A = this chain, B = another copy of it.
């Protein structure tokens, strides 16, 4: 027994740190921007676990910059635990020796430099996670000691208004604060009263008005002008061969042109197929601008968002029957709950990838870039804890029967639809189908225990290329599944190994479907099918409510 043990060491330490912070408070919990570096030096200790908020969208960029300016003689060896490292400052911390270890989910534009730093031994990599998985560890073995978060507005009591971009803030603040951690927020503005309380002031130790608004990236904006006829063909196949075939109501669309094309075909080809109200009624999705025509046409009943998307603020605010909106009239996004919903409440994940191996494992990793996972593996896997039944889930499970029998005997079970879309060749004539994923090389170079796979072969149900759809879950075993992949792999080495007689048999069995098998007229597969052909068209569809970032405006 440890009767004499001090059971409040964390709290004592926190009190001590907050005492050092006290001189910097100007009014209530407000600290001047100019005192930020000193404030961080007051509350952070070497080897602390520290979180800098930032996902693929909003960034606590001012606090990240200030953390880079602390004295490495005072603070070093930090263990960074954070969703994302897309800013150069995130990696500068490691170059300077302020930080040493990293647990994260997504790298974005820093993926190449991250790989280098890992190989140089400057970053000790914990693990690459999906968002929800990393959030989960915040409550178990990766709880931040200090979190540097961001919001639109704060009052002097620390109440935060995260508005349109709530995103990761609630889960970070909760995990940190209730484990005696310290939470510091940069905000765009200090106000007398916040328009709504997204994070209670109790949970926040200090607020700082940053010299400029937080950085936010319009990551989910796809210009319809860049959608090709091939994208349209593949989108038509998806709608007829999968959406209609399974009656899929609850969906997440990955980022990219394949699914943007699908969104823009709903009011045209989807309508023609009689699918309105029958498929794609509930979505978990960022507010993609290419969703606007489908929403305006009455296809979508609800959208719950991970985060915001620049330019969509006003449009979303004016569609409160569809989006989750606060009493202040703006979106409440929430990455943790949207990812949970993406895992458990959806019937299909559909999105692009980079490479697919001969078994059906797919990855976006390349040999020299540690890009991370974001949310895809969480949505793109068969959620084994799911117990509620929908028609599409049940049908997919019945079709998976041959494999399932070997796993669970005669017990019936449903299965999530997971669709990977990819043209057989990517940019620069890189084959999308490969014998071995580049992920293997990356694992070797970066010292990862496992190759970073985005979607595993037993989770993916469909591979869709310009050649056709392979219904992988209908296969009887690994050999047949590999043949089905070869059948849609076109002129890649994998595709060239296909046996025409076997491919024909798979087509007859309904395991492989070409556009012709689906009754799709290739001549109609062109951009004329799109409900909007440009960003300008999207603005028009929105009645002027969508306000695209400057870089997307060419008029």
Contacts and interface: CB of A to CB of B under 8 A. Distances in A.
A389 B297 CA distance: 45
Contacts of A250: 140-141
A246 interface: no
A104 B452 CA distance: 36
B394 A385 contact: no
Contacts of A387: 127-130, 133, 373, 377, 452
Given A7-B318, A7-B322, A320-B10, A139 B338 contact: yes
| Interface residues of chain A: helix, strand, loop or mixed (majority) | loop
Given A132-B340, A319-B7, A385-B133, A411 B282 contact: no
Contacts of A543: 3
A321 B174 contact: no
A350 to B, nearest CB: 16
| Copies of this chain in its oligomeric complex | 2
A273 to B, nearest CB: 20
Interface stretch (A213-221, A256-264, A325-333, A488-496): A325-333
A383 B386 contact: no
B2 A298 contact: yes
A200 B202 contact: no
Contacts of A394: 449-450
Contacts of A337: 135-136, 139, 171, 174-175, 336
B140 A457 contact: no
Contact of A135 (B132, B171, B174, B340): B340
Tell me which of A8, A284, A297, A408 has the highest count of chain B C-beta atoms within 10 A of its own C-beta.
Answer: A408
B411 A456 contact: yes
Contacts of A346: 140
Nearest to A410: B359
A141 to B, nearest CB: 5
A178 B326 CA distance: 5
Interface in A176-197: 177-180, 196-197
Given A174-B337, A388-B128, A324 B139 contact: yes
A344 B325 CA distance: 29
Nearest to A298: B2
A226 B319 CA distance: 58
Given A327-B202, A385-B381, A456 B408 contact: yes
B388 A127 contact: yes
A388 B129 contact: yes
Given A411-B451, A411-B457, 11 more contacts: A3-B296, A5-B298, A132-B344, A136-B344, A174-B337, A197-B197, A200-B200, A343-B385, A383-B384, A406-B406, A414-B450
Which 6 A-B pairs have CB atoms at the shortest separation, nearest pair first?
A359-B409, A127-B388, A381-B384, A197-B200, A136-B344, A407-B458
